[in-house]
Structure 1
Amino acid sequence: MATNTSLTTAEMSSKNTPASAGRQILKQTQFELLLTSRRGENILVTLIIPIMLLIFFASLKVIPAPKGGSAATELLPGILAIAIIAAGMVNLGIATAYERHYGVLKRLGSSPLSRSGLISAKIISILALEIVQVVLLIIVAIAFYGWRPVGSLPIALLALLLGTVTFSALGLAMAGGLRAEMTLAGANALFLVFILLGGGILPLDHLPAPIAALAQLLPAAALTQALQQTMIADQPFPTYPLLLLALWAIIILFVAIRTFKWE
């Protein structure tokens, strides 16, 4: 009997090892990708809105093109930021809120998967969706507007990763603490605010000074500026935007993990 008890204890403790946690996250990531593939209408909106914004503003030429470049050169970093916000905060946040509303998360809460494991799996699944977003936007920019890559690819990828963590965590924080209807309204309202104050389409220096100063502190502006200073020629290294975005990522991720509720 003592041997059986010892084996049972060992088996139970092995479930809490880093390797076991990694397998749980991987399995949940596969499940999240499957769920994402079934939300066709959400994916369509998430993919199409940024592309339509790029085509609309680049075709109307309301954004001045840099010398020797195209309007897409100025627009693409901001549109990429909008795509990240749409996928992480809006798409993931609303979908997770309704999973919680319908009891899906409650069932997951009875499994060995931890809150941090669930959040990690959801962020990884959003990264997969964002890869498709980024590739499509770059294809459109190259094919129709003659965009050519400049700047540092590793720094651009770092900015995109920090933005993904920040806005996915923000969506999950709302989904884990608010009712589904409140998350739906809040995510869409914040999305509009971040489009207006993110600096991706309307430059911040066009805003009244107090609003521009406030916008400089928001994660949307930090992500946009980090991408702009990385993807546009003759720009300074984006030290401040990256540090601010990393700070937002840490704070919001911590809040999401601490406050996330299964039901």
Structure 2
Amino acid sequence: MCMLRNGEQLILAIVLPLLALIGLVVTPLLDDLASASISRVDIATPGVLALCAMSTAFTGQGIATGFDRRYGVLRFLSTTPLGRTGLIAGKAVAVAVVLGLQVVVIGTVATFMGWSPVIAGIPAALLLLALGAAAFTALGLLVAGTIRPEATLAITNLLWILLAAGGGIVIPPEALPDQLAAVAQLLPSGALGEALRSALLQGQFNLTAFLVLAGWTVVSGAAAVRWFKWS
């Protein structure tokens, strides 16, 4: 829970996703995708939940791990039996705890705003959200463990902005320019956003998005284990 005691990470974990949810619901950005049976909040909430996973697992863990490297915490851990695999597993557990809190907060606020997900799609959404969190955790650790600690903060925040704005996570790919939409669907951000929208709007399991997320998880996880630097 130390992530939530850090002001910047608290903003990334809770405040910005809430602002994104409110902004998408009160503005007409999603009107072209809404219909009589699907409201703005129904479209916005799955993307905001995906944004929570990216905020916590990628940016939050990247920042935390970068500072751990800078202050020698990881160097100390390297002398214990934890190892790289154990470190990644521990980070994944921390992400799961914070993400669970985010889901409760965002889900509660969205429900008060009129959100009505397809109940049958909730189990698939939770599974895909966990897979997306795993992919972003591996990516965050890869960035934080292979570049200079001083650069981690800037890079993770910049990537968060770029992926949130044009990565298909909050704004569905079909609402983006054609070339950008094609790229977004291959990114973990776009795949997770589409996976949650398919599950919570239509009650469907998006196999393509699942395969994209699984690929990012395996490749990024293997790379993080192979090249992660302790100092």
TM-score, normalising length from structure 2? 0.92
Q: State the shift of 1:46 in Å.
A: 1.6
Segments of 5+ residues of structure 2 without an aligned counterpart are: none
Structure 2 residue aligned with 1:219: 188
CA contact (8 A) 1:197 1:220 kept: no
Identify if the C-alpha distance between structure 1 residues 59 and 238 changes in structure 2 by more than 3 Å, giving closer, same or farther.
Answer: same
Amino acid at match of 1:149: P
Equivalent residue for 1:9? none
Amino acid at match of 1:60: T
Q: Secondary structure at the match of 2:29?
A: coil
Does residue 123 in structure 1 map to residue 104 in structure 2? no
CA distance in 2, matches of 1:123, 1:56: 30
The CA deviation string for residues 153-188 of structure 1, in whole angstroms up to 9 with x for no partner, is 221111111111000111111111111222112111
Helix, strand or coil: the match of 2:35? coil
Offset of 1:40 from its aligned partner?
4.4
Q: Is the 8 A contact 2:172 2:190 kept in 1?
A: no
> What is the aligned partner in structure 1 of residue 24 from structure 2?
57
RMSD: 1.6
The one-letter code sitting in structure 1 at the alignment partner of 2:161 is: L
Query: In 1, Cα distance between the equivalents of 2:173 and 2:212?
Result: 17
| Alpha carbons 1:75, 1:200 under 8 Å: kept | no
For residue 70 of structure 1, report the CA deviation from its aligned partner: 2.5
Change (3 A) 1:126 1:236: closer
Correspondence for 1:47 among 14, 18, 36: 14
User: Using the alignment, how far apart are the partners of 1:79 and 1:95 within structure 2?
Assistant: 22
| Alignment: residue pair count | 228
SS of structure 1 residue aligned to 2:143: helix
- Is 1:199 the counterpart of 2:175? The answer is no
Is the Cα contact below 8 Å between 2:168 and 2:181 reproduced in 1? Answer: no
- Partner Cα separation in structure 1 for residue 5 and residue 79 of structure 2: 24
Is the CA contact 2:173–2:184 (under 8 Å) kept in the aligned structure 1?
Answer: yes
* Contact in 2 for aligned 1:82/1:195 (Cα 8 Å): yes
1:181 corresponds in structure 2 to 150
Q: CA deviation at 1:111?
A: 1.1
Deviates more, 1:183-192 or 1:132-141: 183-192
> Structure 2 vs 1, CA of residues 60 and 185 (structure 1 numbering), >3 Å: closer, same or farther?
same
CA distance in 1, matches of 2:186, 2:209: 9
Which ranges of structure 1 fall in alignment gaps of 5 or more residues? 1-32
Quick one: which amino acid aligns to residue 84 of structure 1? A
1:12-161 correspondence runs (5 A): 33=1, 35-64=2-31, 65-143=34-112, 145-150=113-118, 151-161=120-130
Instruction: Compare 150-159 and 102-111 and name the one that shifted more.
Output: 150-159
8 A contact 1:84–1:160 mirrored in 2: yes
Distance between the aligned counterparts of 1:212 and 1:41, measured in 2? 30
Write the distance in 2 (CA, Å) between the matches of 1:201 and 1:243. Answer: 20
Conserved 8 A contact 2:121-2:204? no
Distance 1:221 1:45, change over 3 A: closer
| Residues 77 and 227, structure 1, Cα contact 8 Å, conserved in 2 | yes
Letter in 2 for 1:203: P
Matching residue within 224, 229, 232 for 2:201: 232
Q: Which has the larger radius of gyration?
A: 1
Which TM-score applies when normalising by structure 1?
0.82
Q: Cα offset for 1:37?
A: 4.9
How far, CA to CA, are the matches of 1:172 and 1:155 in structure 2? 26
Q: Deviations over 1:108-149 (max 9, x none)?
A: 111111110011001110110011111111101111x21123
